[in-house]
Amino acid sequence: MKYTQWNVADPCPEARERLEQAGLPVLLARVLAARGVRTAEQARRLLAPEREPLSDPLLMKDMDRAAERVRRAVTRREFVAVYGDYDVDGITSTCLLTEFLTSLGVRVVPYIPSRLTEGYGLNREAVAYLAGRGVTLLITVDCGITAVEEVAYAGELGMDVVVTDHHACKAELPDAAAVVDPHRPDCGYPFKGLAGVGVALKLAMAVAGPDRADGVLERYCDLAAVGTVADVMPMTGENRGIVSRGLAALNPPRRTGFRHLIDCAGLGDKPVTSVSVGYTLAPRLNASGRLGQAMRAAELLFTRNEDRARQLAQELCQLNRERQLIEGDIFQQCVRLLEQSPQQGAIVLAGENWHQGVVGIVASRLTERYNCPAFMICLEQGVGKGSCRSWGGVNLFELLNRCAPLLESFGGHALAAGFTVREENIPALAQSLQRLAAEELENGRSPALEADAVALPEELTLEAVDSLERLEPCGVENPRPVLVLKGARVQSLTQVGRGRHLKMRLESRGVGLDAIWFSADGAELGLYPGCRINVAFSPQVNEFRGVRSVKLQVMDLDLTQSRAQLEQGIYEKYRRGERLTAEEARFLLPERGDFVDLWRWLERQSAAAGVVEDTLARISRSVSRAAGQAEIPTRTRLCLEVMEERGLIDLSERTGRLQITLRRTEHKVDLEASVIIRRLRGMIGNGGQIER
């Protein structure tokens, strides 16, 4: 199992029934009820987020000052720089604010630093370069909240700075014309989960004013949606409204660059969802930044030229393929290192010649494989630049903050962060991070999989799974539905995607289901054709060559005992004298018909051979076939033991074979007086009354 435990939500049948009566499909109603939705009105608001109004941008601390400074730049025709990050959130933020300011007649230069030569955030060289070009107002997007020295340097060069960011704040804020970040301790903005592009959008809406704010949202919601999903922001509150509007603007895409990227990525006529943005579009946009060419992605989103957009989309797809090859090589190096020297609490690895742009993805894959936080450090000339990813709710920003004396710098979120460390401090840093992460996980922070409901295979129809799409947009805090299927049999296993992923064919209650588990290996998991599993999954509708079918995207699975193993385990527990649960006792307790069927079969066999001799499995199978009943060997064994106790048979066992001799009695035998029967009935309770 990938997770230490699975928590299946309370089904809340009363709420589910109310939602069904309001017209919601059964499976959707079950999921909503499990997530705390109790009324039709709550469901309406969740399922139609585009209708919910957004909060006033001016509720954000310093937004009034930021908007006023931008308006002054518009009035004075100043030269403005929009300075972003090289990830998708930063790229979309840069494009959004650059386009908006350009539409106001401002001369604007977008600037995204090279990940490989400049690193994250504001840097003095870039500030000096922009000042030298005559920039008088520098606006940061998706960065800048920790750039105290760089903002001060910009002031010395005669530039005002407006910081817009959404990352965690440190004690000291930059001395800027305005610092807009919902995570400021003194910011009372009601929703803290905005992405960097969400904050940039809010700035544009504030500058436009209340009368034109809706038009700004409508024009740039596609950029805001892609950046928000790519940065793995919570899909609650305002983000649901922003992303819902943006996904509508991507179906079909209005922006030339998005249209060609969608085609090049192979999405074709498929609907663009939060899943396809997160797993298909975002990696291709991110690849440019990871390989030091973020402005190519920005140009793709800016351009209106069809030929240029097609060319850039193809280049991004090629860069993504290169990124995958580099990432795969580093990941295999890390696996070999960890096989030689396993690590506890957290993974901390450092290496020369590792590509700085892809180690964050490698860290993500390591967390998935080893179930702990991962810290990857690229070494160059005695300095390490690190990227880390969380696991099990460990807050990376807090961990790095507690290790600050060992670091040159750090920043980021609870779930993903970056840092710089001197090479000589890495051993001490690794020791501290592993100890702190282990403490977090031991203090009840170990991960559990949260599932919405236990499902039956016949419930997973196309119509039912289609209805779950109404939960879009999905993401953090509003995940895709997770269901649990119990006792499914594995019919076949195949490694796909160059061996990275596991494709399975499952069978449950006569229903066949296709399943895929990404980044999993069937052999390592101990799976084999014929084994039975409990599987936690997100149901998806797969379309191939015009045929639509339900597919299970596996989140976790648990290799279960076979029915025979389970039955034998209950019997052995009984034989050891341990108290059974009521359900276990009910399972073992024979019915009167079980005794009748077995006795008739024994009479027929003994008439021909005298002594009946065979294995328990074959005896049980023969009796069940003759009676047309299910085969339960352990219950057959209990019947024989009761018959022996009450003097109906002589029973012995030799080398795995039972020898049974019938004894003729002159009087009627009361099987209910058996000590075995009375013991099992006592464990069931309620007077031992059994209904079958």
pLDDT tens profile 429-482 = 999 999 999 888 776 555 788 999 999 999 999 999 999 999 999 998 999 999
What's the DSSP call for residue 509?
T
Contact (Cβ atoms closer than 8 angstroms) between residue 306 and residue 253: no
63 belongs to a structural domain: yes
Measured distance CA(344)–CA(440) in Å, rounded = 13
How do residues 639-672 score in pLDDT, each as one tens digit? 999 999 999 999 998 887 899 999 988 788 999 9
Measured distance CA(23)–CA(594) in Å, rounded = 46
pLDDT given at position 561: 65
pLDDT given at position 444: 54
Measured distance CA(412)–CA(166) in Å, rounded = 9
Q: Would you tell me how many other CB atoms lie within 10 Å of the CB of residue 578?
A: 9
Q: State how far the alpha carbon of 358 is from the alpha carbons of 200, 277, 315, 426, in Å.
A: 26, 19, 18, 20
At residue 344, what are phi and psi to the nearest 5 degrees?
-115, 145
pLDDT given at position 119: 80
440 belongs to a structural domain: yes
Q: Are residues 586 and 520 in the same domain?
A: no
| 3-class DSSP assignment, residue 397 | helix
Q: Are residues 528 and 596 in the same domain?
A: no
Q: Is the pLDDT of residue 307 over 50?
A: yes
pLDDT given at position 398: 92
The enclosing domain of 465 has a CATH number of 2.40.50.460
How do residues 524-563 score in pLDDT, each as one tens digit? 677 878 788 999 999 999 888 788 999 999 999 988 766 6
pLDDT given at position 258: 97
Last residue of a domain, one of 214, 234, 254: 214
414 belongs to a structural domain: yes
Measured distance CA(304)–CA(431) in Å, rounded = 52
160 belongs to a structural domain: yes
Measured distance CA(262)–CA(301) in Å, rounded = 12
Q: Which residues contact 558 (CB under 8 A, 6 or more apart)?
A: 1, 6, 533, 534, 535
pLDDT given at position 687: 41
The enclosing domain of 610 has a CATH number of 1.10.10
163 belongs to a structural domain: yes
pLDDT given at position 500: 81
At residue 585, what are phi and psi to the nearest 5 degrees?
-65, -40
Parent domain of 410: 342-446
Helix axis angle, 282-290 relative to 88-103, nearest 10°? 90
CA 649 to chain centre: 59
Q: Which residues contact 356 (CB under 8 A, 6 or more apart)?
A: 115, 116, 378, 385, 387
Mean pLDDT of 77-92: 96
Count, residues in the chain: 692
Q: Is the pLDDT of residue 216 over 80?
A: yes
Which has the higher per-residue pLDDT, 65 or 11? 65
Q: Are residues 74 and 147 in the same domain?
A: yes
Q: What is 562-628 written as a DSSP string?
A: PHHHHHHHHHHHHHTTPPPPHHHHHHHPPPHHHHHHHHHHHHHHHHHHSSEEE-HHHHHHHHHHHHT
Nearest Cα neighbor of 33 from 17, 51, 15, 50 is 15
Arithmetic mean of pLDDT over the chain: 91
pLDDT given at position 588: 87
30 belongs to a structural domain: yes
Last residue of a domain, one of 531, 560, 589: 560
The enclosing domain of 373 has a CATH number of 3.10.310.30
291 belongs to a structural domain: no
Confidence band of 413 (pLDDT split at 50, 70, 90) = confident
Q: Which residues contact 319 (CB under 8 A, 6 or more apart)?
A: 284, 287, 288, 291, 293, 296
Which has the higher per-residue pLDDT, 627 or 619? 619
Q: Are residues 434 and 473 in the same domain?
A: no
Percentage of the residues of the chain whose pLDDT score is greater than 90: 72
**CB crowding 460-470: b at 16 or more within 10 Å, else e:** beeebbbbbee
Measured distance CA(500)–CA(303) in Å, rounded = 36
Q: Which residues contact 591 (CB under 8 A, 6 or more apart)?
A: 690, 692
The strand pair at 409-412 and 657-662 is best described as unpaired
**CB crowding 125-162: b at 16 or more within 10 Å, else e:** ebbeebbeeebbbbbbbbbbbbbbebbebbbeeebbbb
315 belongs to a structural domain: no
Q: Is the pLDDT of residue 565 over 70?
A: no
Measured distance CA(289)–CA(50) in Å, rounded = 31
How do the residues of the chain divide into helix, strand and coil, expressed in percent and rounded to 5?
50, 20, 30
Q: Are residues 599 and 666 in the same domain?
A: yes
Q: Is the pLDDT of residue 686 over 60?
A: no
Measured distance CA(314)–CA(322) in Å, rounded = 13
| 3-class DSSP assignment, residue 381 | coil
Domain count, the chain: 4
Q: Are residues 529 and 602 in the same domain?
A: no
Q: Are residues 96 and 172 in the same domain?
A: yes
Q: Are residues 385 and 533 in the same domain?
A: no
Return the minimum-mean-pLDDT range out of 121-135, 140-154, 266-280: 266-280
Q: Are residues 62 and 206 in the same domain?
A: yes
Mean pLDDT of 338-363: 92
Q: Are residues 207 and 66 in the same domain?
A: yes
Mean pLDDT of 304-322: 96
Q: Are residues 157 and 68 in the same domain?
A: yes
pLDDT given at position 576: 86
Query: For the chain, what is the largest distance between any 2 Cα atoms, rounded to a whole number of angstroms?
Result: 116
551's enclosing H/E stretch is strand 547-559
Count CA atoms within 13 Å of residue 272 on its CB side: 29
Measured distance CA(95)–CA(48) in Å, rounded = 28
Q: Is the pTM of this model over 0.85?
A: no
Q: Are residues 409 and 549 in the same domain?
A: no
Confidence band of 523 (pLDDT split at 50, 70, 90) = low
Last residue of a domain, one of 544, 560, 576: 560
pLDDT given at position 688: 40
